[in-house]
Amino acid sequence: MKRILGLILSAVLLVCLIPASFAAETGDVIVSGTLNLDAKGAILMEASTGTVLYEQDSKEKLYPASVTKVMTMLLVMESLDEGKISEDDPVTASENAVSYGGTQIYLEVGETMSLRDLLKAVAINSANDAAAALAEHVSGSEPAFVERMNARAKELGAENTHFVNPCGLPDPDHYTCAYDVALMTRELLTYPHILDYTGIWMDSLRDGGFGLANTNKLLKTYEGMTGMKTGYTEAAGHCLSATATRGDVSLIAVILGGETSKGRFASAASLLDYGFGNYTLVRRTVGQIAPIPVTKGRASSVSVAAEGEYRAVLKKGKQSDLTVEIETEPSLKAPVAVGQIVGKVRFFLNGTEVSSVPVVAVEAVEKAGFFDYLARLADCLF
């Protein structure tokens, strides 16, 4: 029976997910600069900097449906990164996990599946029972996992978020907003391995007995789409957190409360089109900086370098608006330590300082002693 149910569900999903063209529905920009979006809350964020490029009621508290699983996947990836769990871990389904309704892979009490397959079921198929099983495996119990979800949301600055379960099933106390979802999605993207799951179009479990088809249509219809998470309940409407990359630019588009499935995908594509069409990522790094003279040292100068780079998202054609100034000490007195701050690099956007990074010594210079001065005197004389 389980095998038959899996094949039927797979067939239904494949029919629903046949790639469709959104060419006539995307990229519509009103003269006033407002996009036509099917959403109660929406946002477009550049992933590497967190710059918000567009928003519509992005702080309004809304039901997220299965977009909740962005946080669920984040906690799983963090535990994997910390070595607390492994993708090869066998996970046994509990009665609680099996009791979840909605989209599922029909786990049975006591059934064991690898963590890898359960994560695949969550990322591709949005399975609630798989999400609950992962939550219990990561934190020992679902309540403990939910507690961690809420704590992690606060750490990320998601101030309009509160979770009640790891799946997204409706509850008056289970809510978030488009901005907070973007923050969670951005953090999840710091674990690139998750894209190996969210980018899968079709797969299967139980030795091919249960088919999986991705609920994110944009994987097949939008250039550069890397995945992430869909969601739907009657209370939440049609929701989506979509990620895409073209060249150096990675964008996050979040749609919450869409009236139709087609509308949420078209709206996300419109956001992404707007971002890729109008903005570019500018990186400013500082090349070689002249050594700084050192007095009373065993060396007469010290090599220095700027730490890090500055990234800014600018309107295309406005790259020259970002300028750089280097300020260093005219000279230093020995001793000089490695890592000692000796200046800074200042970044200006249209004449206004937007950031700075320190300039540090990359080598140590010890204070000169008697024999150092004697050697220098000898050099001068002979």
The rounded mean pLDDT for the chain is 88
Among candidate residues 175, 145, 182, the one with its CA nearest the CA of residue 160: 175
212-269 residue pLDDT tens: 999 999 999 999 999 999 999 999 999 999 999 999 999 999 999 999 999 999 999 9
- Check whether 275 has a pLDDT greater than 50: yes
Which of the listed ranges 3-12, 207-216, 307-316, 347-356 does the model predict with the highest average pLDDT? 207-216
Residue 283 — pLDDT band, cuts 50, 70, 90? confident
- DSSP labels, 28-59: -B-TTS-B----SEEEEEETTT--EEEEESTT
Q: What local confidence, expressed as pLDDT, does residue 307 receive? A: 79
CATH number of 2-279, picked from 3.30.470.20, 3.40.710.10, 3.10.440.10, 3.50.50.60: 3.40.710.10
Query: 285-381, superfamily in CATH?
Result: D-Ala-D-Ala carboxypeptidase, C-terminal domain (2.60.410.10)
Mean pLDDT, to the nearest integer, of 17-22?
Answer: 30
What tens digit of pLDDT does each residue of 107-136 get? Answer: 999 999 999 999 999 999 999 999 999 999
CA pseudo-torsion sign 192, 85, 66, 58: negative
Marked catalytic residue, from 40, 69, 217, 229: 69
Query: What does the buried/exposed string (b/e) look like for 274-289 if buried means 16 or more CB atoms within 10 Å of the residue's CB?
Result: bbbeebbbbebebeeb
> Is the pLDDT score of 20 beyond 60?
no
Residue 382 CA to residue 379 CA, distance in Å, equals 5
Residue type at position 368: A
Indicate whether 28 pLDDT > 50.
Answer: no
Check whether 23 has a pLDDT greater than 80. no
Tokens of 245: 């990359």
Across the range 336-341, mean pLDDT stands at 95
Residue keyed to tokens 């609630």: 128
Specify whether 126 is catalytic: yes
126, 139, 241, 250: the catalytic one is: 126
The dihedral built from the CA positions of residue 97, 114, 203 and 248, taken in this order, carries a sign that is positive
In degrees and rounded to multiples of 5, residue 150 shows phi and psi of -70, -40
Of the candidates 241, 131, 136, the residue with the CA atom closest to the CA atom of residue 188:
241
**Annotation says 69 is catalytic:** yes
- Between helix 69-81 and helix 178-188 the angle, nearest 10°, is 30
pLDDT at 331 over 80: yes
Task: Determine if residue 23 is left, alpha or beta; phi over 0 gives left, psi from -120 to 50 gives alpha, anything else beta.
Answer: alpha
At 134-172, the pLDDT tens digits run: 999 999 999 999 999 999 999 999 999 999 999 999 999
Mean pLDDT for 273-298 is 90
SS3 267: helix
Average pLDDT over residues 88-107: 96
Query: Among 6-15, 94-103, 218-227, 230-239, which is the least confidently predicted range?
Result: 6-15
- pLDDT mean over 70-77: 98
Positive or negative CA dihedral for 34, 37, 40, 42? negative
Rounded Cα distance between 340 and 279, Å, is 37
pLDDT at 25: 27
Residue 18: which pLDDT band, with cuts at 50, 70 and 90? Answer: very low
Residue with tokens 């903005």: 279
Looking at residue 309, its pLDDT comes to: 79
Q: Is the pLDDT of residue 17 over 70?
A: no
Q: Which of these is catalytic: 66, 79, 94, 267?
A: 66
Q: Is the pLDDT of residue 92 over 70?
A: yes
Domain layout of the chain by residue ranges? 2-279, 285-381
The SS3 assignment for 249 reads strand
> Looking at residue 285, what is its pLDDT?
77
- Residue 30: pLDDT band (50, 70, 90) is very low
Nearest of 324, 332, 325 to residue 291 by alpha carbon: 332
For this structure, is 66 an active site residue?
yes
| pLDDT digit string, tens, across residues 367-382 | 876 655 556 556 666 6
